[in-house]
Amino acid sequence: MKIIFLGGQGSGKSTQAKLISRHLKLPLIEMGQLMRNKARQNDQEAAQVKEALKSGHLVKNEIVIRTLHERIKKNDCRLGYILDGFPRNNAQLQSLPQDINRIYYIKISDKEAIKRLKIRKRSDDRKEALAKRLEIYHKETEPLLDGFRNRGILDEIDGERSIEVIHEDVLKKVEKI
């Protein structure tokens, strides 16, 4: 089974992806964490990733796509995986494996996202970077949702409820796949 969780920063998509990953015993691939790990390396690509994360811009598509494809080729993904935060734009969409079973879009308002992100306290969560990431999300990621909706693989989830209620909602939907 191959499932994607999408949503703006602070939507809770990573929390829900982790819970479903544990429930289904499938590996969790968090694109944000893969990029933060890459930024810690000591090479030119790492410097580019680090700068993109710091400024709130998206990491270059070639780097993100190559990193994802290297990860999903690993043996632990042979039965499926839970993917968190990919695709983010049309170029990434074009590289998305076609055998995705379901996409869960965790939807929250920008106001709620900012409120949550102020609490989260992560090094790349500076106010300017957060605003830039939300702007990019609305401009580049949200338009992808129509294509998933048209393919019949998109479920929209109200992300402004408690973690437990959202998880129960997602679990019910997953069990129907």
CATH number where 135 lies: 3.40.50.300
Q: What are the tens digits of pLDDT across the range 111-166?
A: 998 888 878 776 666 777 778 888 889 999 999 999 999 999 999 999 999 999 99
64 is in an annotated binding site: no
What percent of the chain stands above pLDDT 90? Answer: 77
Does a structural domain hold residue 45?
no
Tell me, yes or no, whether 150 lies in a domain. Answer: yes
User: What is the rounded CA–CA span in Å between residue 162 and residue 139?
Assistant: 27
Question: Would you say 10 is a known binding-site residue?
Answer: yes
12 labeled part of a ligand binding site: yes
Domain containing 12: what range? 2-30+79-174
User: Does 6 fall in a domain?
Assistant: yes
Is 59 within any annotated ligand binding site?
yes
Nearest Cα residue to 85 out of 166, 175, 5, 1: 5
CA distance 159 to 113: 10
Q: Is 123 marked as a binding-site residue?
A: no
